[in-house]
């Protein structure tokens, strides 16, 4: 009788351990297929909320997805009408670049559409916010401009100027801000037919070009060729993903020197194919990257440490 | 002694000059002319210090294409061709260069020129072909966008052999054998949205799904 009493809980234990769904693999958000868990299909941009959770724009299903920074569980937050690109978070509001509607829409965390930014936008590929200054910067890849709005959606200005000879931005893609220095960083593919090489352009909040981090070094040296998402850490170091080489690169803001290179193209763990955006968790120095071809978000533990 | 040096320098200069002309006039057979919207070689190729495993396999080419044509790029957004989720048919994945010759708009078997770089140079033929998943290598013709953009439907995405030559060579129908409509043979239903622009509903940026 006693043996039977022990045997039944043992069988129950075995069933629970071996038959329940496997736990989430670190850094591989897409593995979990439990009900209520969103399977990412084409993650583009991501941003971090003050609580540390990640918000991801998933292009193909038109979904804003929340990723728990500890468990890496993906939860569908709300769908949008169209295809989301850039995403940013400020004061409880989520700013989403809508590629289909060619605008930036502002949602509550519950997914209620509140208003949209008031200006002509064609392809809002990335958004950065300085909540303290009340600034929303939107990269328009089609118009090759950065548009500046207030948090409430009022248009302030566009930069750089429309002088075609300047060509300060030729193929802009990603954006980040450093609120401490009031600087805006914009990644730009350049235009090799005009001998304009890939670069990161640094502006002040008024749109004046301050500095350039070049992708080309010397006559033949190529540091990066397809710069996409950007992030700036608390020390002012500039983090960038190159969506072609699959590399995460870190630059010194002032002299442009490469401080660190991680990842690289490939299918092995830690390698990336078409990474599109990057954020740094200031509390842990962990790095999160949208890995588009693998349809997941990658976590690089302590990747922000130099 | 001085004359020999000058002669040697002139010889090197001449050889260098000829080499530059040769490189610009001759292009390897596999590349052909460049599409005007892709500019020159350096848009995609970095001869010195090429990042990644430059152009060594299809997957790398896919990432290269999507670096501009993916959701983060400034060019028109597209995706590779897959079957719909939950499909009862075998899964497939057609990447960019399964359908497109990235270097050139090729001549087709009717001596017209295909749009959007559709078709590849396969098995020595000088005109555009596609290696289909289960129908072997076929000629592909894509000269018209279809009636919905005001062009004739002949040689569009799927024209149900409008020219009556017995081959179903539109850029969509050329491969299809398991779809509901527009197979690459005379069987089945060829009336669905005949001659229209398939990608208006089956979007290229959504894996050609509806």
Identity of the residue in A59, A172, A245 whose CB atom sits nearest the CB atom of B71 = A59
The nearest CA of chain B is from the CA of A116 a distance in Å of 21
CB spacing of B48 vs A192 below 8 angstroms:
no
Chain A residue with Cα closest to B205: A60
With beta carbons under 8 A apart, name residues in chain A contacting B70.
243, 274, 276, 292
Identity of the residue in B49, B51, B59 whose CB atom sits nearest the CB atom of A242 = B51
CB spacing of B74 vs A171 below 8 angstroms:
yes
With beta carbons under 8 A apart, name residues in chain A contacting B79.
42, 60
Residues in chain A: 306
pLDDT for res A26: 32
Bridge partners of A262, per DSSP, are: A248
CB spacing of B46 vs A99 below 8 angstroms:
no
Between CA B17 and CA A243 the distance in angstroms is 37
CB spacing of A125 vs B74 below 8 angstroms:
yes
Which sequence spans correspond to the domains of chain A? Answer: 38-300
pLDDT tens figures, A120-137: 999 999 999 999 999 999
User: Are A235 and A210 spatial neighbours (Cβ–Cβ below 8 Å)?
Assistant: no
Stretch B149-159: mean pLDDT, rounded? 88
Chain B residue with Cα closest to A222: B49
Chain B residue with Cα closest to A62: B206
CB spacing of A245 vs B51 below 8 angstroms:
yes
Q: CA A38, A43, A46 angle in degrees (round to 5)?
A: 100
Interface test with A, best of B37, B40, B51 (most A CBs within 10 A): B51
Identity of the residue in B43, B52, B207 whose CB atom sits nearest the CB atom of A265 = B52
Between CA B105 and CA B123 the distance in angstroms is 18
* Secondary structure class of A248 (helix, strand, coil): strand
Backbone dihedral angles phi then psi of residue B55, each to the nearest 5 degrees: 60, 30
At the fourth CATH level, which superfamily is domain A38-300?
TolB, C-terminal domain (2.120.10.30)
With beta carbons under 8 A apart, name residues in chain A contacting B60.
265
Interface test with B, best of A244, A247, A275 (most B CBs within 10 A): A244
CB spacing of B49 vs A144 below 8 angstroms:
no
**C-alpha to C-alpha distances, B139 to B9, B144, B169, nearest whole angstrom:** 52, 16, 6
pLDDT tens figures, B177-192: 999 999 999 999 999 9
Most confident among A20-24, A266-270, B9-13 (mean pLDDT): A266-270
Is the dihedral angle over the CA atoms A146, A151, A153, A156 positive or is it negative? negative
Give residue A52's pLDDT band: very low, low, confident or very high (50, 70, 90). very high
Between CA B122 and CA B126 the distance in angstroms is 8
Between CA A188 and CA A159 the distance in angstroms is 14
pLDDT tens figures, A273-303: 999 999 999 999 999 999 999 999 999 999 9
pLDDT tens figures, B117-132: 999 988 888 899 999 9
pTM of the model: 0.85
CB spacing of A225 vs B51 below 8 angstroms:
yes
A93 touches chain B (CB under 8 A): no
């Amino acid at each position: 009788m006693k043996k039977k009493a022990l045997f039944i809980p043992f069988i129950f234990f075995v069933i629970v351990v071996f038959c329940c769904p496997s736990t989430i693999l670190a850094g591989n958000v897409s593995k979990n297929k439990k009900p209520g868990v969103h399977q990412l299909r084409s993650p583009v941009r991501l941003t971090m909320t003050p609580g540390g959770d990640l918000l991801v724009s998933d292009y193909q299903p038109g979904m804003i997805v929340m990723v728990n920074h500890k468990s890496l569980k993906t939860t569908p937050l709300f769908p949008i009408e169209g295809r989301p690109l850039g995403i940013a978070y400020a004061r409880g509001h989520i700013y989403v670049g809508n590629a289909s509607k060619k605008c930036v829409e502002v949602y509550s965390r519950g997914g209620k559409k509140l208003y949209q930014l008031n200006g002509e936008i064609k392809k809002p590929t990335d958004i950065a916010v300085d909540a303290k200054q009340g600034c929303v910067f939107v990269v328009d890849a089609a118009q090759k401009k950065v548009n500046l709005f207030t948090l409430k959606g009022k248009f302030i200005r566009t930069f750089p100027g429309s002088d075609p000879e300047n060509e300060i931005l030729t193929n802009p893609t990603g954006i980040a801000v450093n609120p401490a220095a009031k600087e805006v960083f914009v990644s730009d593919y350049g235009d090799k037919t005009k001998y304009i090489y890939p670069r990161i352009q640094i502006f002040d909040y008024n749109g004046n070009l301050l500095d350039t981090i070049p992708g080309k070094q010397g006559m033949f040296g190529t540091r990066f060729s397809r710069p996409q998402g950007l992030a700036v850490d608390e020390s002012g170091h500039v983090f960038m993903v190159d969506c072609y080489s699959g590399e995460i690169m870190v630059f010194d803001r002032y002299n442009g020197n490469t401080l660190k290179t991680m990842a690289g193209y490939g299918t092995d763990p830690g390698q990336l194919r078409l990474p599109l955006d990057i954020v740094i968790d200031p509390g842990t120095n962990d790095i999160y990257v949208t890995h588009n071809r693998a349809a997941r978000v990658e976590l690089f533990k302590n990747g922000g440490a130099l | 002694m001085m004359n020999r040096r000058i002669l040697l320098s002139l010889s090197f200069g001449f050889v260098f000059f000829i080499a530059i002309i040769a490189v610009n006039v001759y292009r390897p057979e596999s590349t052909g002319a460049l599409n005007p919207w892709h500019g020159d070689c350096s848009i995609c190729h970095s001869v010195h210090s090429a990042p990644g495993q430059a152009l060594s396999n299809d997957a790398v080419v896919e990432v290269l294409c999507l670096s501009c044509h993916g959701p983060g790029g400034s060019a028109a957004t597209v995706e590779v061709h897959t079957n719909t989720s939950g499909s009862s048919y075998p899964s497939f994945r057609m990447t960019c260069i399964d359908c497109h010759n990235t270097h050139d708009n090729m001549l087709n078997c009717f001596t017209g020129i295909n749009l959007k770089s559709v078709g590849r140079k396969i098995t020595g033929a000088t005109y555009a072909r596609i290696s289909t998943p289960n129908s072997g290598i076929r000629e592909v013709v894509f000269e018209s966008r279809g009636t919905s953009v005001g062009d004739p439907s002949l040689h569009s995405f799927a024209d149900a052999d409008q020219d009556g030559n017995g081959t179903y060579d539109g850029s969509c129908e050329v491969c299809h054998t398991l779809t509901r409509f527009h197979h690459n043979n005379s069987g089945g239903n060829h009336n669905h949205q005949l001659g229209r622009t398939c990608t208006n509903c089956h979007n290229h940026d959504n894996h050609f799904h509806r």
